[in-house]
Structures are given as structure tokens and as C-alpha cells.
Amino acid sequence: MAKGSANSTCAWVDEAYSRRLWGRLVRRADSIPPSSLGYFSTARKYALYVRQDNSKGHEWYVNIFVPAANGALDLVFVDYDRDRRFKRAGYLMRVSQHAGQRLFERLRTNSVDDVFDTLCGAVLAFLQNDTISPREFQGVEKRVVLPHGNLHVVADEGLWVAKTFIPTKPEKERQ
């Protein structure tokens, strides 16, 4: 996963600040050229995660945010062969504007890496639990339990769409 900055945690992230942080991330994704997924060097420039897998013939894997409707972002994986030629791409999860803003606000972070790691954790939780395909069950809602909160997702338009994020209360607040 991506590495977060030691200075990325804030004492507070209010609603206005989380809206600005999400807007900055959406504008960054909007600046990605439409053909970028086909070209490794361009996709890598905008990627949040890049990995080379030597066990599978030196293939490259890239995770990137791409723009979606209504201020949402799609988390997409892209595979390239050893020569960095495009192989395939797949949509992992759509993050609604509301969920994205809540992730910044509830995680109390100004780090895109923290938000990205949380979303990748949700995707991994789906894969580990053999979750049903969103294409087969339109409208099905799920709660993904993560170490620092719950991500609420719904199957919509053939994708899992993150609708909101609710943090787990720290031990001090539970007592």
C-alpha cells in the first residue's frame, strides 16, 4: 500500500476542510489524460500505488483514481506486461463524494495515502470474504469492517459504491 506521511494526521478536519481535500483529489484525477491507462508512464505518474511482480513474469500493477459522475472517484487497477504494455484494467470501487469527504474528516487526515489505504483495505476485505459480484445483486448493501471504522457500500451500476464511512470509536470513548 501507499506510505502515509508522518505529518498527515490532524487534530481536526472539519466539513469544509474535508470538502476542499476531496475536491483537490477530484481535480487531480480530472487532470489525468483519458488515454493514460493504456500508457504505463502516464498512469504511473498519477498512480497512488505501483508494484512490479517478479513472480509473474515481471508484470506491473498500478492503482489509480479516475473521475466518475457527481464528484465521485473510481479506484481502478491496471495490469501491464513485462514490457509495460497495457494488458487489462478493472474497476475496484466507486467512492461517492460524501464517502470521500467523510474519510478525510473521520480519519482526521489530510493525506490522500491514508484515504487510499482505507479504500484498498475495503477492497481486500471483499476479496478475502468472497463477496458477491455487484453485477449480480443490484442494490445489495454491505458493511466492510476495517481496523479504524466501517465503510458502507452498495452494489450499483455493476460496481461497489462506497456511500459513507463511520469510524470506530477509540477505546477511551467507549468506556
* pLDDT tens digit sequence for 11-26: 667 889 889 999 999 9
| The pLDDT value given to residue 14 | 85
Span 66-99, pLDDT tens digits? 999 999 999 999 999 999 999 999 888 999 999 9
- Cα separations in angstroms, 36 against 41, 88, 95, 152, 173: 8, 13, 20, 30, 45
Q: Strands of 159-167's sheet, edge to edge? A: 49-53, 59-67, 73-80, 86-95, 159-167, 149-156, 141-146
> Rounded distance, CA 23 to CA 29, Å?
10
**Side chain identity, residue 124:** L
Predicted TM-score (pTM) of the model is 0.82
- Residues of the chain with pLDDT below 70 are 1-12, 130-132, 170-175
